[in-house]
Every structure is written in structure tokens, then in C-alpha cells.
A and B are shown apart, each in its own frame.
Chain A
């Protein structure tokens, strides 16, 4: 069993925590690095390992304020990995948060919902 992946936030990257013991993954903050592949690689690799002995439930909490198009592709790759492990030892759910007047972030969640076969819950909050 993997324990915990923690990536500290920076001015251009979000905080990421993935608790292997309760299956909770959280992305929070902004994701606008010039090259997001480098930044997301540890998370993608970690999900690969996690998939071999996952928690019975995996909950992904996406609480992003901004993300750029470079990150959008990496986030899609993350969801694709999670889509693959869904149903084989774990049930994956996505909670997509957006601020109440942020139609763009709501639509960004809908974009992934249209592509990825995972249950998405859209959650409107006052402030992320």
C-alpha cells in the first residue's frame, strides 16, 4: 500500500495530495506552468502504482482556480489513468469544484465529463 504523495504548491502549480490509505486525491490552486508534463509526471506515475492495489473507493477532488491548456492535457491524462483503474478494485468518483460566477471553470468540468467515463459531481462553492 502506498502511503501519501504530496506536492507543495507554487506560484504556477497547484498543491496535490494523494492519500493512498483512504483513496483521496486533491488538486488545489492554480495550474499554469509553461511545461506541465514535468510537473504532473510524479502524480501520473503514482497513480500507475496506486492502480495495482487501490483503495475500494477513490475520490478525486478538483479545486482549481485556473489552469492553462498545457495542464488541461495532463489533467485529461490523469483522468484517463483513473478511468482505467475504475471498476478493477476501486470505484472512482470525481468532485469538480467551481466558484459561483465561474462559468468557464464549470464548462471545463463539463469538457472532461464529455470525454471521460467517470461519475462527475459538479459542486458550486462561494470560494475555492
Chain B
């Protein structure tokens, strides 16, 4: 385990985690290729949490865990999501996981061209980008909490 966090993801926290991970990876002599991939995936994962932190005033807590197991880094996140959005996200993740490298590239390009940036600055490209950079299938789970909410767990492996 390199780092774990449970709490509300703020912009400052996000900056701190990125700084810690950057210096950790620099001092551990990781290859620039892996360093960049981990950093990129981490940025997208943390910003996903950040952008959705306000969706639940009473349940803004998110989880972040970063570990190195063997030669692979894993970035795990967990956050609350409403059930309607969970269904959409689940479908998108399933589609992403059916795609190979070339398929993801095409899907990303089409989405980039047609996407509209929300007022929060999100472009709906995060999960495709995470899948591309990780090079592995996205491991995910939606834990149903009640009629309104689920808890979304994402596990990204980078090797």
C-alpha cells in the first residue's frame, strides 16, 4: 500500500495526493512510461471523485487507495452515485471493456469530437481515457445501498 484516503475530495487534497505520488514514483526509479500512466490515471480518477463530491451533501465521502503489487500499480476508488447514473455508467463501462486498443482509440476520438464540456469542466471522456492509459480491463462494482444510491468501486491496474 502506498497511500490510502477516506474523506471529502477537495481541490487541495487532489493536489497533495498528486504531489506525494509524483515524488514517491520519482524516488523509486519507476520507468517514465509507468510514472506517466499512473499519474494520468490518478488525475482522471481523482477528478471524477472531485467533480461528483457535491452530488451528495450527506455522503460526500470517497475512498482512494493506491498500491503497488508486484510490478503493477493499482488505483482503487470508491464513491456514492445515484442509481440512475449508476445504470448509465455501468453500461458505458461494459462497452469500454469489450474494446481493444484500437477500438478504444476510435471511441475516444468520436467522443472527443462530439462531447460538450459541462459547466464543471467535465467532458465525459475520463473512463475511456483511464481504460486506454491502463491497458487493462476496468474492474468495477456497484454496491446497492438503497432505492436512491449505490456505492461505485473502480479498480484500475497499470503495468
Residues of A at the B interface (CB closer than 8 Å) are: 11-12, 32-38, 65-66, 68-70, 72-74, 76, 99, 101-105, 107, 111, 114-115
- Residue of A35, A65, A76, A99 touching B113 (CB-CB under 8 A): A76
- Residue of A11, A65, A111 touching B112 (CB-CB under 8 A): A111
Chain B, interface size category, equals 20 to 34
| B15-A70 in contact (CB<8A) | no
| A34-B132 in contact (CB<8A) | no
- Residue of B32, B37, B121, B126 touching A35 (CB-CB under 8 A): B121
Any A CB within 8 A of the CB of B151:
no
CA gap between A78 and B113 in the complex, in Å: 13
B72, chain A: closest CB distance, angstroms? 17
| B133-A104 in contact (CB<8A) | yes
Looking at A37, A70, A107, the one whose CB has the most chain B CB atoms below 10 A away is A70
Q: Which candidate, B38-46, B55-63, B79-87, B91-99, is the interface stretch facing chain A?
A: B38-46
Residues of B at the A interface (CB closer than 8 Å) are: 11, 14-15, 18-19, 31-33, 36-37, 39-40, 43-44, 47, 50-51, 105, 108-109, 112-113, 115, 117, 120-123, 125-126, 129, 132-133
CA gap between A58 and B109 in the complex, in Å: 25
| A69-B39 in contact (CB<8A) | no
A64, chain B: closest CB distance, angstroms? 11
